[in-house]
Structure 1
Amino acid sequence: MKLTIYLFIFLFFGLTQATIAQTIQPQMILEQEVEIKTTAGQELYKNNLSFYIKDGKVKSTSNQQGMVMNTYYFSSTDIMYITIDMGGQIQKQQNNNALKNTNSEYSKIEVKYLDDTKLIAGTNCKKAIIKLKSKGSTEKRVVWYDPNTKLSFKYNFGVAGLELIEGLPIEYENTQMGMQMIHTVKKIDFSTNISKETFELPK
Structure 2
Amino acid sequence: MKKIITVFFLSAAVAVQAQVKVLDHAIITTKTTIVSPEGADDNIAPPPPAAEGGEVRVMRFGGDGETKSVTTFKGGMIKTYTETDMSRTTVLRDNNKKMTTTLMEMMGKKTGFYTTDEDQQQMAKRMDSMMQSRSQTAASFNNGNQVSSTDIAYADETKKVAGINCKKAFIIATRKNGTKDSSVVWYATDFKLQGITSTGGMAGGFGNFGRTTALSGLDNLAGFPMQYEMKMNRGRKMIVEVTKINTEKEVADKEFEIPKDFEVKSMKDMQNGNGGPVFQTRIGGPGQ
TM exceeding 0.5:
yes
- Equivalent positions of 1:31-180 (< 5 A) are 31-39=29-37, 44-89=64-109, 90=111, 92=113, 94=115, 96=117, 105-136=146-177, 137-153=179-195, 155-157=197-199, 158=211, 159=214, 160-175=216-231, 178=234, 179-180=236-237
Which structure has the higher relative contact order (CA within 8 Å, separation 6+)? 2
Q: What count of residue pairs does the alignment treat as equivalent?
A: 182
Q: Which has the higher helix share?
A: 2
SS of the equivalent of 1:131 reads strand
Q: Which runs of 4+ in 1 moved over 4 A?
A: 18-21, 175-178
User: 5+ unaligned residues in a row in structure 2: which ranges?
Assistant: 1-15, 41-63, 125-142, 200-210, 265-288
Q: CA deviation at 1:52?
A: 0.7
Distance 1:138 1:93, change over 3 A: farther
Q: Is the 8 A contact 1:32 1:184 kept in 2?
A: yes
Rounded to whole Å, the distance in 1 between the matches of 2:253 and 2:113 is: 21
Rounded to whole Å, the distance in 2 between the matches of 1:93 and 1:155 is: 21
Q: CA deviation at 1:61?
A: 1.0
Per-residue displacement from partner, 1:52-109 (whole Å, max 9, x unpaired)?
121032211111222212222333354433333322343536361679x7xx943223
Q: Which amino acid aligns with 1:183?
A: V
Q: Provide the aligned C-alpha RMSD in A.
A: 3.2
State the partner residue of 1:9.
none
Rounded to whole Å, the distance in 2 between the matches of 1:91 and 1:82 is: 5
TM-score after normalising by structure 1: 0.73
Rounded to whole Å, the distance in 2 between the matches of 1:182 and 1:122 is: 18
Per-residue displacement from partner, 1:7-37 (whole Å, max 9, x unpaired)?
xxxxxxxxxxx88853322211111122221
Q: CA deviation at 1:169?
A: 1.3
Once the two structures are aligned, what percentage of the paired residues are identical?
23
Distance 1:74 1:38, change over 3 A: same
Rounded to whole Å, the distance in 2 between the matches of 1:177 and 1:72 is: 28
State the partner residue of 1:11.
none
Rounded to whole Å, the distance in 1 between the matches of 2:80 and 2:244 is: 15
Q: Which has the higher strand share?
A: 1
Rounded to whole Å, the distance in 1 between the matches of 2:245 and 2:81 is: 15
